[in-house]
Structure formats: C-alpha cells, structure tokens
Structure 1
Amino acid sequence: MAREKNNNSLSRPARVDRAAAGTTTPRAVQKTLASPTQGWLGSHARCLIESLGRLHRRWLASLLTALVIGISLALPTGLYVLVNNLDTLSQSWQRAVQASLYLDDDFNSNDGESLARRIAARDDVDGAHFVSADAGLAEFRKASGFGSALDALADNPLPAVVVVTPRPGLPSAAVGQLLDTLRQQPGVARAELDQAWLSRLYAILSLIERAAWVIGLLLAAAVLFIVGNTIRLDIENRREEIEVMKLLGASDAFIRRPFLYSGFWYGLIGAVLGLLLLAVCFVALADPLTTLTRSYDGALAVHGLGIGGVFTVLGVGIGLGWAGCVLTVNRRLAAIEPK
C-alpha cells in the first residue's frame, strides 16, 4: 500500500506538469507567431521615423528636393483642372448654339408656326420657335438703337426665322446632319449655324489636354531623376556605414529599407507642397474668376480637384518618390562591397 501510495504521489506531479504544458502551449504558440509580425511592423515603423528624422537633419536640401517635386506635380495638375473647367464651360456654350432657318418672303406666320412645331418634335432638337419678320425688326430696333434709320425704310428687310436649338450633347457630325436636313424643309431659303468657333474651342481643349499629358510625363521623368540623384548622393555619403553593415551580415533588403522610406517622404511632402501651390494660385486668381463667373450670371462654376483628385496627387507623388528610390538604390547597393 505504501508503494502504491508512493507511485501515486510520484505520478501526480507528472500529470500536473503534462496538464500545465497542455494549457500553456497555445499561448506560447500565439506569442511565437505574433512576435515575428510585431517585429516586422516595428522594424518598418522605426525605419519610417528614422528616415524622416534624417531628412529633418538636412531640412534645407530636403525641402528644395520636395519643392521641385511639388512644382513638377502642380503644373500638369493645374492644366488638368483648367481643361475640366473649360470643358464644363464649352458644354454650356454648346447648349447656346442655335441654327437659324431663314424662310421665304411669301411664308406666312401660320406656316412658320407649324414648321417650328414639326422641327421641335424631332428627337435631336431641344426646341424651336418661330420669329416673324415684324418681331425680328422690333428686336433689332431695340438692340441696335437705329430706330430713326429703320423708320426711313419703306419695307421690312428682315425675313421670318425659325430658331432651332439642337439637343445638348449632340456630336458635331450629328449637328451638321441636322442642319442639312433642316435646310431641305419646304419654305426654308437658307440655314446657318455658327459652330465654327465651338469646333475651334474643342480643338484647343484637346490640344491642352494632350499637352498636359506630355508635360506630366516629362516632369514625372524629371522627378524620378531628381529623387534618384538625391538618394545616390545619400548612399555615397553613407558608403562606409553600408560597408560595415554588410561586414556584420546585414542583407541588402535591410540596408535598402531606410532609403525607400526616404523616397516615400520625398514624394509625400512634394505632393503636399504641390497642392499648396495650386491653392495659392487659386487664391491669386480668385478675383478674376469671380468677375468671370458673374458675367455668366452664376451659370459658370469653377471646380477644383476634389477629394478624389487630392488623393490621386498624393498617390502619384508617393509612387514617383518610391520608384525613383527603387531605380537607384538597388544598383548602387549592388556596387558597394566591403573591402
């Protein structure tokens, strides 16, 4: 009985140890799994902050580099905003385009009203109204101020007119086809549409948009070169430190990480400076823009980038700064070997 009791007393701690091991193993596994992730995040956060501190220690050179990036981003972005606002204005101008159908002299008012109603019923027409010869003369008298000269005329020289407004958003080719169709209507002596200036405006807008893309690509290449050259100089200044780190067994990925975060900060700060430059330009042009919008009775509204545009500029800036670092740091680190 004593031997059995001893066996029980010896086996109880073993069971307790096994039970304790069973309860503590999941926590240990979780700690083991969490520690690499926490270490990886901590390492990246430390490199992110250290790279910002390194830029702060030579803040003047860093600010000049970021300012060049900001100017490079502000110029094509400003052209993009200009094209968008002019495109909105051209759409309002397009709604003001009207075709004038000059009727024959023997065309009476009833026939003119009937023709205007038939034309207004078309799907590609937004509206049409008839203007008699007498109404046209009265309107011309009021607008021109030549009342006494017009009183000297024996007859009314103005013909009756049907003014047709094409449907908004109708392509230029469709507007031309509409004009050809209206010209064939009975009683129409001549049809005119002053759309040449609008076609020229669209051509100018297309040119500005294409120029914005070309300038943006050229300036993006300049940003890559500027960031890459800045990182190259930084690598050369820290050449001895990099050699010591390689002697101690540091990998290229570990050495490359702070430089990549420097490119991140260059791009982010440059994008913020670019947005600030655009805001300053907008404030400087506020008075002329206000005068322009008032001349359109408030129908013209000037639009900025918006939230989506702001985040796009920030993303482009960060991407260019990061890409400029990647293109330079890989090649420069491969060329540095400990002596």
Structure 2
Amino acid sequence: MRLGYSPLHSLITAAVIGIAIALPTAFWLALDNFQRATGGWEDGAPQISLFLDRGTQDSQLHDIAGQIDSDARVAGVETITPEQALAEFRAETELEAALELLEENPLPPVLIVTASTDLDPQEVGELANELAQNTHIERMRLDQDWVNRLHALMSLTERALGALAIMLAIAVILVIGNTIKLTIESRREEIEITKLIGGSNGFVRRPFLYEGFWCGFFGGAVALLLTEAARLSLKEPVQRVADAYTGDIALQGVGLTDTLVLLFGGGLLGLLGAWLAVGRHLKIIEPR
C-alpha cells in the first residue's frame, strides 16, 4: 500500500473524507439522541381524555378502564373520579369560597388513556374514535396537534438527512476518484512498463483498489473521531440543559455496529471511487 509514501497527502485526503462522512453521521447521531431523549413520545405520549356520563358509578368507571387497558394499543389508563377531580381543582385554584356554594359536584368522571408509543398519529386518531363509541362516554378529547407536528418534523429531518448522506457519499467517491487519478498519472510510466511485460489490467488495477479502500477506511476512522469529539464537547452543556429541566439526558455515542458501518462503509465508498477512476484511465494508458 502506497499511502505511507506520502503521509501528508494521505492524511489530508483522509481528513477531507472524514469531514464529509462525519457531517451526516453527526446529524444522524443528534437525531437518534433526540428520539431517545423524548422516548418516542416521552412523558407527553399521546393521551386521550374520555369524559363519562356524570351518572357513571365508580365500579362502572373501573370496569370501563379495565376493558380499555386490555387493548394492545393502550399503554395505560388513569381513572379520575369526580371527587378526585374536584379535590385537584380545589388544590390548584383559589376558588375555595366559590366551590363551597356548589350544591353538587359538576365534574364528570374522566379516563386518561395513554396510547402506545408504537402507534403513528393516524392510528392514535382511530383508537380515540373507537373509544368514543362507548355509550358511557359523552365527550372525547385528543391532544394530537403537537404529535402530528413532531411526526412530520421527524420525517422531514430523516429525509433531509438521507439526501445529505447521498450527496456527501458522492463527494467522497469523487474525492477518492480524483486522488487515484493523480496517483495513476504519477505512475504512468510504471504502468506502461508493467503492461509492456505482460501485466494485465486486473494486475495493474489491484493496488489502486487497495489504496482507494484504505483511504475510505481511514476517512471513516477520522469521521468516528470527529463525531466522538463533538459528542464529548457537548456532554457538559447538554447535562446543564437537562438539569435545568429536571431531566436526565445522556448523549449516546456511536455503537459497535455503527462503528463498523462507518469504517467499512467508508472503505466501500473508497473502493467504488477507485474502481471508477482506474477503469476509466487504464484504458487510455498503453505501452508506446
């Protein structure tokens, strides 16, 4: 492998490739950490509020809650009796005197249904409509607008990240192809002599393919180092933000599988770039 013959040039090439690979990797890692921090829907998981008939007995309330909770699409059900609702309202407001004037409790029993995080917004809406068909339920409320916005934003971000990754992968292929092209031109006479003594195109091509692979591989390693360095530099600020919101956010780094994808993915991009460059230029280099 001839990378060691010009270490500075090889280092610069690996750095350029590493930066190109690190950009989508960093964005992907940030998106993955955001999804982990929110837990899919996090504590604000899609919730359906079911307001029951005021005449519903506590036993009926718990029976209905049990039926709903048995649905695989439901993560949990919270029951709120009229007495609990009134006590909570009393504790959170300063209307004690006004509440004393009430002859009866005007608040209905309520079921707070938490949908499974595996459901998409459309499925959550379908679940809410099904639950609302119960004869004991007078009104249903689904706070889903923010869920739809988050889902649309995440989908847009993933598509944009995919497009960025494709463009930068093409850039990596072009960078390595150009590097291999310059190497071929610098060794033109050597290639001509090799062909003159009977060397085949496959024999001549092989070392350039190795060089392309290792350029991409080391570029992936540089991308890994840059991504981890960025993660470590953000660890403390992110923890301060988590402490301010009484949360616990731990930035996840690149795992073993993703590390292998970075290294060998970079190597394959390098191999492809080298193959294209060598295939094009070897055809025009023939012994004189």
**TM-score, normalized by length of structure 2?**
0.85
> 2:24 maps to what in 1?
76
Distance in structure 2 (CA, Å) of the matches to 1:53 and 1:114: 75
- Taking the TM superposition and a 5 Å limit, the aligned residue runs for 1:278-289 are 278-289=227-238
- Change in Cα spacing, 1:62 to 1:186, as seen in structure 2 (3 Å) is same
Q: Is the 8 A contact 1:120 1:127 kept in 2?
A: yes
CA apart distance, 1:110: 4.2
- Taking the TM superposition and a 5 Å limit, the aligned residue runs for 1:21-40 are none
- Change in Cα spacing, 1:115 to 1:326, as seen in structure 2 (3 Å) is closer
Higher helix share: 1
Distance in structure 1 (CA, Å) of the matches to 2:59 and 2:32: 45
Gaps of 5+ in 1: 1-47
Distance in structure 1 (CA, Å) of the matches to 2:280 and 2:106: 82
CA apart distance, 1:165: 2.3
Distance in structure 2 (CA, Å) of the matches to 1:239 and 1:190: 81
SS in structure 1 opposite 2:108? coil
Does 2:136 align with 1:187? yes
Does 2:81 align with 1:135? no
Q: Which of 112, 136, 147 is matched with 1:198 structurally?
A: 147
- Change in Cα spacing, 1:191 to 1:296, as seen in structure 2 (3 Å) is farther
> 1:33 maps to what in 2?
none
Distance in structure 1 (CA, Å) of the matches to 2:187 and 2:63: 86
Q: Is the 8 A contact 1:263 1:324 kept in 2?
A: yes
> 1:44 maps to what in 2?
none
Q: Deviations over 1:276-314 (max 9, x none)?
A: 11011101210233245554644x554332111101111
Q: Give the structure with higher Rg (CA).
A: 1
Count of aligned pairs: 283
> 1:152 maps to what in 2?
98
Q: Is the 8 A contact 1:275 1:310 kept in 2?
A: yes
Q: Is the 8 A contact 2:82 2:109 kept in 1?
A: yes
> 2:222 maps to what in 1?
273
**What value does the CA root-mean-square deviation take over the aligned residues?**
2.6
For residue 82 of structure 1, what is the amino acid of its counterpart?
A
Distance in structure 2 (CA, Å) of the matches to 1:150 and 1:186: 34
> 1:230 maps to what in 2?
179
Distance in structure 2 (CA, Å) of the matches to 1:78 and 1:320: 18
SS in structure 2 opposite 1:169? coil
- Taking the TM superposition and a 5 Å limit, the aligned residue runs for 1:187-266 are 187-266=136-215
Gaps of 5+ in 2: none
Q: Is the 8 A contact 2:235 2:251 kept in 1?
A: no
Does 2:118 align with 1:169? yes
CA apart distance, 1:328: 0.8
